[in-house]
Structure 1
Amino acid sequence: MTERLHIAPQGPEFSRLVMGYWRLMEWGMTPQQLVGFIEQHLELGITTADHADIYGGYLCEAEFGKALRLEPSLRQRLELVTKCGIATTANPQNKIGHYITESGHIISSAETSLRHFNTDYLDLLLIHRPDPLMDADEIAEAFISLHQSGKVKHFGVSNFTPAQFSLLQSRLPFTLATNQLEISPIHQPLLLDGTLDQCQQLRIRPMAWSCLGGGRLFNDAEFAPLRDELQTVMQETGAENIEQVVYAWVMRLPSQPLPIIGSGKIERVRAALGSLKINLTRQQWFRIRKAALGYDVP
């Protein structure tokens, strides 16, 4: 069973590992099979489910909702996270992909998510990407309205810079709960650009997406030295596989990111829990960093 963490001083409380449903439509599950999968990861203590309105060509939320309709009791055991603010061409109305963070869109998107999930509240709503046309007052207006109506309990952002985060926070009467970020040995800019430092400063825990690089970690030739080093650290720590080492590497960061697991195979989800028992030494952590970047620290 995974532990639970308050991801921000004002909440919410999430499972240490998060189940990501970005690729749900690729898993080929019937609603009944999905019920079984949800029950299995709940039994492992992974209670937080990450979604976005655009996932699966705007289909994942509704597909997940079919499972919740089949087994309504699941809702009370889950924390539902979703995102809005990207308009993709999967919707015929969008001739080009763009961002949209106007107040009316945020509210209507949240209400659509509620219908898809067959629920009357979301645990956490995130703005999916920074918008060059973002008006912080408009987002705050939507967030406050959704909060006062009880439709959304907590709010946050995804892929925001520290300045963008601070701007939006300055307009809100409550604290943003998280910044969902790409954190991985193969994507390390945020480790030194102040983004994770801000999370630590505010005592909020980021959610980490694409920890395994969307599979590139295992397949791309350029990451062969990294795979070799992960294999060595795996043997040193007694880990079962290199995935566990990567998740442990991410969780070793002092901002205490919550890794999002993107697999629809319960065996891989179960194996990810093994990362919670791995304590990397400082030298092991930096060896992985060096193997990924190809150079030593300055």
Structure 2
Amino acid sequence: MTTLHAPCPAVRTSDQGPALSRVVAGMWRLGEWNLAPQARLALIERCIELGITTFDHADIYGHYSVEGLFGEALALQPAMRQRIQLVSKCGIQLVSKARPQHAIKAYDTSAEHITASVHNSLRELQTDYLDLLLIHRPDPLMDFDEIAETFEALREAGKVRHFGVSNFTRHQFECLHRRFPLATNQVEFSPLQLAPLYDETFDGLQDQRVAPMIWSPLGGGRLFRDDPASAPLRTALGKVAAETGRPVTTVVFAWIMQLPCAPLPITGSGRIEAIAEAAAATELKLTRTQWFEILRAATGHDVP
């Protein structure tokens, strides 16, 4: 494949955190792309060509099937494991045929569940370690001390190299971070979901020198739908895209990555063209005027 830009760079998410690609390939919908194992392997290879070497998973994706699909592809070329970083998440229990023991959708951040989830993920992904494990969502019954002790045991066993959380508030993150060094907080953010800008999530992570990971950076595709409510935002994005000569996807990813907390956005597409547009954002810096034009369109008003 011919790339039209430099490969996506790698960055550390914190002083002691893992080195991940600046843009991360999200595997949530891998099962929906109907790819044969060899085609899945080809997608991984093409991501690597773009410098996207980090692949985001969760045990529940595809009703507990996606990690197995990825592992099946990786098994076709085992040496590729040394060139990529695998991220997974645990802590959500789905009611699923794959987990008949689950009677209700719930959260479980007990030591037993986290440890069992890691072993399942390692088996499905056909690897002997995870580069990064995240608690998927805050659990009302979570015990910060128990989680920290479980993380330490998994690290000492060589099963997981780094740890973080997902969808945690600033306070929840800092409570666990005081007990065990966290590498990231994966949160939802896009021009359609601005809460982390204003609820201290990004401020707190910047203060801790921890880079967030960003899920749904394109608003789950809503940025491209003909919705009258988001028409001003689409207009603003189109204007900046025309000024920069870049696709709207590239502009959105660049807008996110320009934040000083250094977010790592996650792609959600199986199309390599869309993934390449996201990777190209690492080379684009918006002017301050362009950045605030997008924010104004996103909020519907000027800053105070």
TM category (shorter chain) comes to: over 0.9
Give the corresponding residue for 1:108.
116
2:67 corresponds, among 38, 53, 61, to 61
Structure 1 residues 209-245: Cα deviation after superposition (integer angstroms, max 9, x where no partner): 1000111111133211111110001111121x11111
1:36-55 → structure 2 map (5 Å cutoff): 36-55=42-61
Give CA deviations for 1:162-205 in whole Å, capped at 9, x if unaligned. Answer: 11011112222xx1000011111100011021111111111111
Distance 2:228 2:78 in 1: 45
Matched, 1:218 2:200: no
Q: 1:123 aligns with which of 125, 131, 134?
A: 131
1:234-253 pair list within 5 angstroms: 234-239=241-246, 241-253=247-259
Write the letter of the residue equivalent to 1:182: E
- Determine the C-alpha separation between the residues in 2 that align with 1:4 and 1:81: 15
Is the CA contact 2:47–2:53 (under 8 Å) kept in the aligned structure 1?
A: yes
Which residue of 2 is the match for residue 283 of structure 1? 289
1:144 counterpart = 2:140: no
User: By how many angstroms is 1:37 displaced?
Assistant: 0.7
Q: What CA distance in whole angstroms lies between the structure 2 residues aligned with 1:277 and 1:169?
A: 32
Matched, 1:99 2:107: yes
Tell me, in whole angstroms, the C-alpha distance in 1 between the residues paired with 2:234 and 2:218. Answer: 11
**Conserved? CA contact 2:10–2:21, under 8 Å:** yes
State the one-letter code of the partner of 2:238: Q
Runs in 1 of length 4+ with deviation above 4 angstroms? Answer: none
CA distance in 1, matches of 2:161, 2:188: 24
Q: Is the 8 A contact 2:8 2:280 kept in 1?
A: no
State the TM-score, normalizing by the size of structure 2. Answer: 0.95
Aligned residue identity for 1:155: F
Deviation at 1:251, TM superposition (A): 0.5
Render the CA deviation track for 1:110-157: whole Å, top value 9, x for unaligned: 011000111111000000001111111111121011011010000000
1:158 corresponds, among 157, 162, 166, to 166
State the shift of 1:296 in Å.
1.7
Aligned to 1:8: 14
How many Å apart are 1:263 and its aligned residue?
0.7
How far apart in 2 are the matches of 1:192 and 1:214? 21
For the residues of structure 2 that align with 1:171 and 1:272, how far apart are their CA atoms? 35
Seq. identity, %:
55
Of stretches 274-283 and 96-105 in structure 1, the one that deviates more from structure 2 is 274-283
Structure 2: which amino acid aligns with 1:228? T
Moved more, 266-275 or 253-262: 266-275
Query: In structure 1, what is the equivalent of residue 95 of structure 2?
Result: 89
The SS at the match of 2:161 is strand
Q: Within 5 A, what are the aligned runs for 1:250-265?
A: 250-265=256-271
Query: 1 CA distance for matches of 2:20 and 2:231?
Result: 34
- Distance (Å, rounded) in 2 between the aligned partners of 1:147 and 1:231: 46
Following the alignment from structure 1 to structure 2, what is the Cα–Cα distance between the partners of residues 130 and 35?
33
Name 1:230's counterpart in structure 2: 237
- Measured in 1, the distance between the counterparts of 2:115 and 2:27 equals 22
Question: What is the Cα deviation at residue 256 of structure 1?
Answer: 0.7
Task: Give the TM-score taking structure 1 as reference length.
Answer: 0.97
Segments of 5+ residues of structure 1 without an aligned counterpart are none
Which residue identity is paired with 2:65?
A: L
Which residue does the alignment assign to 2:185? 179
User: Residue 286 of structure 1: CA displacement?
Assistant: 1.3
For residue 49 of structure 1, what is the amino acid of its counterpart? F
**In 2, Cα distance between the equivalents of 1:223 and 1:259?**
21
Secondary structure of residue in 2 paired with 1:81: strand
